[in-house]
Amino acid sequence: MEKQILFAGFGGQGVLSMGQFLTYAAMEAGKNVSWVPSYGAEMRGGTANCLVTIADEEISSPLTENPMMAVIMNRPSLDKFENKLQPNGTLVINSSLVDRKPQREDLQVLELPVNQIAEEINNPRGANMILLGAYLQKTGVVEIEKVLEFFDSIFKGKKQTVIEKNKEAFMTGVEYARQKW
């Protein structure tokens, strides 16, 4: 089974980091993976997205025009990518920064106010990890237990306080998905 997940938002929101984190977690779990980043020349504040492919078998192509899942961090990304999702796909939205509902009715839509939650846990930079934790809890693309097993190796080279803050944000998202979705 092959899954392609699009992560999209502004540069500086941790969009590429979310995709890279998922790629490493899936790789550590024994999956075949690819990570294809795309970002504007201005980086922070410009558009950024990446496509992650996870498969049990060899990946035939790391690119697709129509992913099955998308994790959207802002309104411009929803406007750009909503119609590219496959029918009956999954759309995960940061409702703190997306001020409209998706127009398609054939998608499973999961909304989460990640910026608000990040402020509540005093970790505004952890919004991306909150959304990633909720997404993984809901979809099961990679098991939460596997992710936690490899958390330190994925963040290798980072200060322990940074790793712990990211883990806390990730688990906040996991708990949100368990309780609300």
* Tens-place pLDDT, residues 91-132: 999 999 999 999 999 999 999 999 999 999 999 999 999 999
Distance of CA 146 to the CA centre of its chain: 16
> Does residue 141 carry a pLDDT above 60?
yes
- Residue by residue, DSSP assigns 93-161 as EETTT--S--S-SSSEEEEE-HHHHHHHTT-GGGHHHHHHHHHHHHH-SS-HHHHHHTHHHHTTTS-HH
pTM of the model: 0.93
pLDDT > 90 in the chain, percent: 85
The HSE-up count of residue 134 (CA atoms within 13 Å, CB side) is 29
Burial class (CB in 10 A: 0-12, 13-18, 19+), 31: buried
CATH H-level superfamily of 2-180: Pyruvate-ferredoxin oxidoreductase, PFOR, domain III (3.40.920.10)
DSSP 66: S
pLDDT confidence of residue 43: 54
**Rounded mean pLDDT of 151-180?**
94
**C-alpha–C-alpha distance, residues 78 and 148, integer Å:** 29
* Tens-place pLDDT, residues 51-102: 999 999 999 888 999 999 999 999 999 999 999 999 999 999 999 999 999 9
